[in-house]
Every structure is written in C-alpha cells, then in structure tokens.
A and B are shown apart, each in its own frame.
Chain A
Amino acid sequence: MASLFGLGTFADVEVVFAGEAERKVVETRLPAAAADKDKEKKENADAKRLRMPLYFDGESVAGKVLVRPKDAKKLDHQGIKIEFVGSIELFNDRGAHTEFVSLSQELAAPGELRSSGTFDFEFKNVEKQFESYYGINVKLRYFVRVTIARRISDIVKERDLWVYSYRVPPDVNNSIKMEVGIEDALHIEFEYNKSKYHLRDVIVGKIQFLLVRIKIKHMELSIIRRETTGVPPNQYNESETITKFEIMDGAPARAEVIPIRLFLSGFELTPTYRDVNKKFSTRYYLNLVLVDEENRRYFKQQEITIFRIKDDGEEYQQIAGGASSAGLSTFTKQ
C-alpha cells in the first residue's frame, strides 16, 4: 500500500522542517485502548512514544525534502509533490478518513533524479483549526506527505507534526456543589472548587457526609474520559478510566468532611473536545464512588471541562511521580 513509510526499494525520502532544532517537541503515546484498533499499528511498531514538532494555528509549515536514490541508480519519476494534510481517522466504521485540510505543492516536474535532490517547500500561514488528538477510537493528525509518482507504484513518505491550541482562562468558573444520595440511607454533599480546569490545575474539593446508614468501606475519585465518535444513529461511546484515587479509607460518621486535592498534571489528559468537525467529542468526568462492606458501589458522575492554557515554560516543570510545581503555584496565587 502507498502508506509504507519510505521503505520502498528505490529511494530514501526524508522531511526536515525549518527551524526544527529550536522548535518545541511534543511527546505522545498511543492510548493503550487504541493500540489494538489502529490499523497502522504494525507500521508504527515502535511508536509507543512518538516525538513530533509542535505547531500552532496560522503558522507556516516549511522545510526541505531530501530524496536519495538507492543503489546509485537514477530514479525515474512522474513528478514529486508535497501535501499538507489534516485528517480525522475513525478506527471503527470501516476506518473512515476525513481530510479537513489539504494543501498541495509541486516539488519537481516529471523527470529523473541522478543523485540526491533537495527540494524546499513552504505552506504559508496554514490553518490548523483543531488540536492533534490520539484517542481511543479516533485520531486527528496533521502531517506532510511527499509523493514521488512512478509508473507502477508511488513512493510515499509521511511526517507528522503536532498541533496545540491555547485558550484564555474563563471569566466565570463556578464551583460544582451538590447534595446527592439514597433516600434514608446515604446523603452526601460534595463540592469541587471549579467546573473548568486547565491541564495542570488542581481539583480542590470536599465531601461532607450528612447521613450514613450504610457501612462504607472506602471512597474513591476517578477521572473518566468518554469519547464519542460518529453521528446518530451510528454514534459510539467508549470510556476509559484515566486514574482512580482513594480519598477515604474506612467508615465515615455524620457531619464528617473528607478533603480532596487532585493534581491533574500527573495524568494523560487532553482538553475537552466538543463535536470536532462534527466527528467526535472527548469529555471528562469526575466519578465519586463509595464502596460498602458488601462491595456495593454508590457513585456520582460529574462532567468537568478541561482546557489548555499557554505554557510559561519553567513554571510548569514536571516532577517525577506526578506532583507538579504548577499545582502549587496555582494554589498560592490566590
């Protein structure tokens, strides 16, 4: 198939982006749940950790393409072109691909390459409306694709880049506060300090027990990602637990208050995506679960919005183990 990554027998193709050494790199992983479903997994055998240059909306994408014919043979071709593509790939449903951005540039007219050739390319001020996303059942990626047209089979080389999109923190960010329970058996009031959190934020909250007639063994808080792909009637939801965090061990009594402090920077989260290109959504939920002595589970799920704010570099260093200095700085700023 034409998507073999430059492993064709006739030429090596390499794409180098302009200013690559100075550009930030994003390291990303295919989510575990997706690895089985991605049709290109075999070709990305060691794609466990992928490193890609980071670009933003409106930035030009430029660089050079190096073509080296193999075995010192000359390379006959019907033209060399490069495309900039933004695509959404669904892993289910016949693996439908949608290219929402497609730009093309000719690098060489039909002819022959006697020796290595270098071709400059530039896509000016490219629109990159959506963030890159590697999800459970869907992938949104941006890449350049070099195609050397030949009579029998084309030589194709793709190189991915990664796109982030920053948001300004919201003016209004109300806390989430609710009283829930089972009539006459369990009443709790929970509160989370915000409804919208950025990727390195801290969830600060509390749970107060108002009535406890069941025998509780422990309480945990988990973050769940729910990805929705497709449109009705073929809409498909799949959830993944990002983390589970025990916040209480043992039986609480009436009026007891349990604090919550959960640093988000330790987890593999993305911003909330709503109806991207009408193809998929990714939403996040806090799931508060109480477990009683017979392992019966009582839960309350609450959606939170996650967004990406502009990264100020040193301020947001990650510390091994998941705690983040950003969490503290967010906390003390108030």
Chain B
Amino acid sequence: MHLGLSKIDFREQTAEERYGVPENFLEVEVRNPQIQGTGRSQFVDYEIVVKTNIPAFKIKHSVVRRRYSDFEWFKDALERESSKVNIPPLPGKVYTNRFSDEVIETRRAGLERFLQIVAGHPLLQTGSQILGVFIQDPNFNRDSYR
C-alpha cells in the first residue's frame, strides 16, 4: 500500500541499536562531602563522579573534588560564556552552621541538581570550554582561568 512516504531509506534498527547501551548514557553524582583543613580555614568539599559514553566528555569515568566557591566561579564562568543558555541557580550561601550535617546535605543535593542540569545540556556539552574541565579534570585550578 503506497502511503506517500519514501521507503528506500527506511533503515532497519540493528539489534545493538535496539537493545544496546544507549548513546546518551550520562550519570552525574555529587557525593561524599568531607571537611578539609583545620581551624579557621576549614571548608567542605564534594566528590563529583561522572560516568558517560557521550563523546563530548573526554573521560568515560571520572572522579574529582570541588568546593562550593569553585561552583560559584564555575556558574559565573558559564554565564559569561554563553548568553543563550539559562544557567540554573546554585543552592544558596550559608552563613551559620556551615558544617552541620543538614546544611551540608542540602547543599550537596543542590549542587548535584545543578550539575545534572548543566552537564546534560547539549549546547554546553559541545560549546563550553570549561564544563568538561570543571567536572572531570583532576588538575583543574580556577586561578589559571580568567
């Protein structure tokens, strides 16, 4: 029955395409908060774990540690990079009880949400110079960027 649609280039799906690992596999986790340093210069940092098969990310499985102020720098840099993409908000600044479990957990969850949205954005994956570096590069140092 002629449906008016082209049949010539109707390519069948292969079994691998149908049942294999999807090519959009991306898992981003922010976990394992740790208090670093001593005395007045104590701070919390978080582990960022990325597992992916998306070619835009250089490393298939990476683990790095970042602190909240690194995230602030990162968000700011993303906003300067692109006017087209809406960058989601970070969890807010905290002034009291910075080291309480509750505050740290809320912050961890907020940072994870932030990274999931940002890392999953197709325009940032291919267009951003700093996304991959921030979430995957163990040698990242924000002083080496303007």
Contact of A193 among B5, B20, B125 (CB under 8 A): B5
User: Any chain A CB within 8 A of the CB of B122?
Assistant: yes
Q: List residues of chain B with CB within 8 A of the CB of A251.
A: 22, 24
Closest to A191 in B: B5
Contact of B126 among A184, A208, A334 (CB under 8 A): A184
User: Any chain A CB within 8 A of the CB of B4?
Assistant: yes
* Contact between chains at A186 and B18 (CB < 8 Å): no
Question: Majority SS of interface residues in chain A?
Answer: loop
User: Any chain B CB within 8 A of the CB of A92?
Assistant: no
Report the interface size class on chain A.
20 to 34
User: Any chain A CB within 8 A of the CB of B84?
Assistant: no
Q: A212-B23, A215-B120, A255-B11 are in contact. Are A185 and B125 (CB under 8 A)?
A: yes
User: Any chain B CB within 8 A of the CB of A314?
Assistant: no
Q: List residues of chain A with CB within 8 A of the CB of B122.
A: 182, 184-186, 213-214
Q: A213-B23, A255-B17 are in contact. Are A294 and B120 (CB under 8 A)?
A: yes
B 1-37 contacts with A by CB, 8 A:
1-6, 10-14, 17-18, 20, 22-24, 26
Closest to A210 in B: B11
* Contact between chains at A193 and B56 (CB < 8 Å): no
Instruction: Write the A211-232 contact mask toward B (1 if CB under 8 angstroms, else 0).
Output: 1111100000000000000000
User: Any chain A CB within 8 A of the CB of B58?
Assistant: no
A-B contact sample (13 more), CB < 8 A, given A255-B12, A334-B1: A175-B4, A213-B23, A213-B54, A214-B24, A214-B120, A215-B24, A251-B22, A253-B18, A254-B23, A255-B13, A257-B10, A294-B116, A334-B2
By a beta-carbon cutoff of 8 Å, the part of chain B in contact with chain A is: 1-6, 10-14, 17-18, 20, 22-24, 26, 54-56, 116-117, 120-123, 125-126
By a beta-carbon cutoff of 8 Å, the part of chain A in contact with chain B is: 175, 177, 182-186, 191, 193-194, 204-206, 208, 211-215, 251, 253-257, 292-294, 296, 334
